[in-house]
């Protein structure tokens, strides 16, 4: 779960290993839907007499139907603990909105004869009970030996309009999902959720028409500097929907070669104030400075790659017989950083050469949860090096560079692991 105060740390990780590797990717292009009217900026309005500050009026947006316009990323899903109730139902509640706003009651249930959860009751009007029309239905699917029940919906969040001062409601698009893992029947049940909506508008910035987007990462229904924003030329408006332009609201963003910062944001998300900002570096130089994978992409390659076995028991027996360390690379089919390491790290000559001194095996943590649990794996990728005597020597988690993996796999001639 993404804690609000881990927001900046998350975006630091994103710049290190690539947003696509860490954020959930969503597809979709084309015309979008504006919820509650078109997004039009107060073009050039000064804030408190400061002619450099531009107020941008934003409008709530929800994903368009049938693959319409939508965000191409979302934060890590938050978790809501579920409490068992009567008839196998499970209940929880979602706090969403300003302080004092009643929570949204939620209840998972099975329809008659259903094996898996296929209904979600949502207290849309927040009156503490489930009325007619407050039930969502889905068809559970099996993925990676687990059963997924996914529900997409739009709830309302009470806000105060910063222009009129009147109370109103904004649509807030959400995805809920419940995952039943038969291999872990004693795991505490949780309902996960993530936002799907955003706020968007246009503004004139230094004579350039710009598209401005703000979206939540904390997912509490209140916008603040712990959330994120994007900026792009209006003639390339869909760029704001991609992960490449997403930045924390505490950081600057670029419009062509000029940088801007968010000076303030209204808690409703309906208004932000932007000011020009000098980061002391050009956009080109900043991109190069933050491209931490460039060294890995430019590493020497001769066309080979690390030879991985695909059967753990065979690899373990081979390592024992040959007196070599066992290198276990725990991965999954959905793991972005795993794919990046396959592409850029395990094909680098220095890593290929270092791996000749070990027996390497890849283990899919979803296909072999017993092995993942037995080795204490909590995230992917996880790389573990087991010595010839069966003792764990060291491990790494997450994307690791060519240099790091070359050192990780280094083995001394007598069989001892170097650097342990």
The residue among 23, 73, 21, 7 whose CA lies nearest residue 296 is 21
Both tokens of 128, joined, read 């503490």
Give CA–CA dist 85/89, Å, rounded: 5
Cis bond upstream, residue 381 (ω within 30): yes
Phi, psi (rounded to 5 degrees) for 53 = -95, 130
Question: What is the residue extent of each domain of the chain?
Answer: 296-409
Tell me the pLDDT of the chain (420 aa) as tens digits: 333 333 333 333 333 333 333 332 333 333 344 444 333 333 333 333 445 799 999 999 999 876 689 999 888 889 999 999 989 999 999 999 999 999 999 999 999 999 999 999 999 999 999 999 999 999 999 987 889 999 999 999 999 999 999 999 999 999 999 999 998 888 899 999 999 999 999 999 999 999 999 999 999 999 998 999 999 999 999 999 998 899 999 999 999 999 999 999 999 999 999 999 999 999 999 988 888 888 999 999 999 999 999 999 999 999 999 999 999 999 998 888 999 999 999 999 999 999 999 999 999 998 898 899 899 999 999 999 999 999 999 999 999 999 999 999 998 654 444 544
Residue 127, Cβ neighbours under 10 Å: how many? Answer: 11
- CB within 8 A of 146, min separation 6: which ones? 179, 180, 181, 182, 366
| CA nearest to 356, candidates 322, 389, 382 | 322
CATH class given for the domain over 296-409? alpha beta
Q: Can you tell me the distance from the alpha carbon of 255 to that of 209, in angstroms, rounded to the nearest whole number?
A: 10
Give the DSSP H or E segment for 362: strand 359-364
Residue 327 · residue 360 · CB < 8 Å: yes
Q: Which residue has the tokens 């401005």?
A: 212
């Amino acid at each position: 779960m993404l804690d609000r105060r881990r927001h900046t740390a998350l975006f630091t990780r994103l710049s290190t290993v690539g947003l696509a590797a860490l954020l959930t990717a969503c597809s979709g292009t084309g015309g979008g839907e504006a919820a509650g009217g078109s997004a039009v900026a107060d073009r050039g309005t000064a804030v408190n007499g400061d002619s450099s500050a531009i107020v941008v009026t934003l409008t709530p947006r929800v994903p368009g139907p049938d693959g319409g316009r939508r965000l191409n990323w979302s934060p890590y899903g938050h978790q809501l603990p579920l409490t068992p109730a009567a008839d196998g139902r499970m209940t929880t509640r979602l706090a969403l909105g300003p302080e004092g706003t009643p929570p949204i009651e939620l209840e998972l249930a099975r329809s008659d004869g259903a094996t898996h959860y296929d209904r979600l009751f949502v207290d849309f009007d927040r009156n503490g009970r489930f009325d007619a029309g407050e039930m969502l239905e889905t068809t559970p699917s099996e993925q990676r030996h687990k059963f997924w029940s996914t529900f997409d919906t739009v709830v309302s969040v009470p806000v105060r309009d910063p222009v009129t001062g009147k109370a109103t409601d904004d649509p807030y698009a959400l995805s809920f999902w419940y995952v039943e893992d038969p291999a872990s029947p004693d795991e505490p049940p949780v309902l996960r959720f993530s936002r799907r909506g955003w706020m968007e508008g246009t503004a004139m910035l230094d004579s350039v028409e710009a598209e401005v987007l703000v979206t939540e990462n904390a997912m509490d229904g209140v916008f603040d500097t712990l959330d994120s924003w994007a900026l792009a030329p209006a003639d390339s408006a869909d760029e704001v929907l991609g992960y490449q332009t997403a930045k924390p609201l505490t950081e600057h963003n670029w419009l062509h070669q000029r940088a801007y910062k968010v000076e303030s944001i209204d808690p409703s998300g309906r208004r932000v104030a932007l000011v020009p900002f000098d980061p002391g570096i050009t956009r080109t130089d900043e991109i190069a400075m933050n491209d931490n994978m460039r060294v890995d992409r430019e590493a020497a390659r001769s066309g080979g790659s690390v030879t991985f076995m695909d059967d753990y028991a065979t690899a373990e027996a081979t390592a024992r017989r040959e007196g070599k360390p066992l290198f276990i690379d725990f991965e999954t089919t959905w793991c972005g950083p795993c794919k990046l390491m396959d592409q850029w790290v395990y094909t680098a000559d220095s890593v290929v050469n270092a791996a000749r001194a070990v027996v390497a095996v890849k283990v899919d943590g979803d296909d072999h949860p017993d092995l993942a649990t037995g080795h204490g794996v909590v995230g992917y990728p996880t790389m573990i090096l087991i010595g010839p005597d069966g003792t764990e020597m060291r491990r790494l988690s997450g994307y690791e560079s060519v240099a790091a993996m070359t050192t990780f796999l280094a083995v001394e001639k007598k069989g001892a692991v170097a650097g342990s």
